[in-house]
Chains A and B, each alone.
Chain A
């Protein structure tokens, strides 16, 4: 098996693992980690596609590789914003549970 195939399948499994984590993790920080796993799976798939596009003496297609650099930096800035939101929520309420909204509006589920 070639490297793009191996890591392409690895990327697909990473997205699956990340999606599973987003669904089952009750803690928002863990959801954030899982969401980053999905992101890195998508990045790895794009990297495998870039490697398949090797041509003209280049080891991979440089256009997706440049997009990956942009993507990884933007993913970090979104993560930093999410962590800041989480810490502010914790400072305000002393907890970070996402279930609090359901308790605050008990009749929301009836309609």
Chain B
């Protein structure tokens, strides 16, 4: 019964993926991609990765879907030129053969995976008590593989620097585009007033629960960023101009605090990113609290895009 359900979900995922490729309109393809990302959360639940399901729904499906839909609307006029540049039949057949071959080789590898599977779960289970957190994924993210998480937080800031540097010179230091003309009495403005109070509580709860249950700072920060984005798209608030000092300080505060705590570990615990005995949970929570606002701000500004207009005086 469960196997039949899994096969059904897999078939739906594949059908949506195929639709994303073959849909005629880019806009339709992007909407298909958003639905695809949300459907993937079911797959992650079936694979027992609840933390991954949350991040897939929030970032992989939600934020990425909204990002590409916004781009598809802006690029609508380029559709005709792209339609004219379609590949001929022989090239398409070659592409089918190549991608079919790659998929077949990967599927063969899946069927040939070793049994019993290698796993680090027993080691994580044995060492987890030292970290003081009860969610094994959080323990891996912030203790055993904290280096990955530190670099990830820095990569987000680097991506934002990349996006900002794409601003034309004349609007440097300005604000990102608002996007839409919104009816102030319309349904979007209404939802943007009703939803954020609930969303902010939900975001902070998911962040707080992450120490012991599925959830965490990335998932929580994404929800907070989405609430701000919703309010901005509805015209209720605005993105800050990118040349503000407080903004830049807030963006780097989280990664900088993480780095400072990691550096302190070289003195107090003998290794970079090591925590002294008995202080692991306090330091992990301190890092998470420092990262949350920076992550929410970075994700929001990545969604808002490069500066497009000068700020009002």
Residues in chain A within 8 A of chain B (CB atoms): 1-21, 23-27, 29-30, 32-34, 36-37, 40, 43-45, 47-63, 65-70, 72-81, 83-88, 90-91, 94-97, 99
Contact = CB atoms under 8 A, between A and B. Distances in A.
Interface stretch (B115-123, B193-201, B242-250, B251-259): B115-123
A47 B124 contact: no
B42 to A, nearest CB: 10
Contacts of A52: 113, 117, 119
Interface string B91-130: 1100110111011101101110100011111101110000
Given A10-B10, A88-B166, 12 more contacts: A7-B43, A8-B110, A9-B111, A17-B18, A26-B86, A33-B29, A37-B36, A50-B47, A69-B51, A77-B159, A83-B305, A87-B71
**Closest CB pairs A-B (n = 8):** A16-B103, A59-B48, A53-B119, A12-B106, A8-B110, A77-B159, A27-B82, A52-B117
A20 B21 contact: yes
Interface residues of B, number: 96
Nearest to A20: B99
B87 to A, nearest CB: 5
Contacts of A80: 67, 159, 163, 302-303, 305
Contact of A53 (B60, B63, B121): B121
Contact of B124 (A45, A48, A56): A56
A45 to B, nearest CB: 7
Interface stretch (B143-151, B226-234, B260-268, B272-280): B143-151
B78 A36 contact: no
A76 B199 CA distance: 21
Which residue, B40, B75, B95, B156, has most C-beta atoms of chain A within 10 A? B75
B117 A53 contact: yes
B26 A50 contact: no
B74 A24 contact: no
A51 B14 contact: no
B21 A60 contact: no
A81 B10 contact: no
Given A49-B113, A75-B60, A77-B156, A90 B74 contact: yes
B136 to A, nearest CB: 4
B52 A65 contact: yes
A86 B47 contact: no
B162 interface: yes
Nearest to B78: A96
Contacts of B216: 69
A21 B20 contact: yes
B85 interface: yes
Contacts of A97: 78, 81-82, 85
B162 to A, nearest CB: 5
Q: Which interface residue of A53, A74, A80, A96 has the most chain B CB atoms within 10 A?
A: A80
B44 interface: yes
B172 to A, nearest CB: 13
Contacts of A7: 6, 10, 43, 46-47
A73 B103 contact: no
